[in-house]
Amino acid sequence: MFASIRRYRLQSGTAEALARRVDEGFAEELASEPAFVSYEFVDCGDGEVMTISILATAEAAEASRDHARRWSDENLSDFKFTRGRALRGEILVGRASSAMLAPGHADGSRKFVSIRRYRLRRGEVGELMHAIDERFADRIEALPGFEAYHALDCGHGEIASISLLRDQASAEESDELALAFVRDSLGGFDLEGTEVVGGQVWVSRAAAELLEPAHA
């Protein structure tokens, strides 16, 4: 599976209004694509929004980027926003609960997501992902409130993780667990944390394929 994370800065319009538009339009369109796995629309606060798309193949992930741009041009002319640099990568480790299959709507309850980015300066990506798969993924899956976890190889030594939790307390606990794991179990890697970003998930869709664990 392949993930694409896109970030936007709103200059006019609200995140809530944009989420409703996406919920009624783009999320439904993307979910109908044959290679679709999951999608989230995230309000990061202060006018920043983020989307997370997971598709079965790299080609489908690239096509979803073009789809998103076309849909935005055709349906969001009353919003003004700038696009940030997209982050893309292959999911080498993944876990998800069946709770992810329930659609999330703009007027419904909110999940929380945390995305952590790292730079691997020493060691092999494959070995790092194997350690995450063997020693961390099942631990985060066991947290109360767990919904999904993905570890991505973004290329050129960049690693990212996506954690989706039912509530903010669970999200904070997952962050503490991740920090402790990096500190206590990954000493053999020169792993530099470069960014943490998170927010509330306003819109979500997922297919049953998301529930299949990914192992490094």
**In three state form, how does the secondary structure of 175-214 look?**
HHHHHHHHHHHCCCCEEEEEEEEEEEEEEEEECHHHHCCE
Task: Compute the half-sphere exposure of residue 155: CA atoms within 13 Å on the CB side of its CA.
Answer: 6
Name the pTM for this structure. 0.94
10-residue mean pLDDT profile of the chain (216 residues): values are: 95 92 95 95 95 95 89 93 91 96 92 93 90 93 94 95 91 87 84 90 97 95
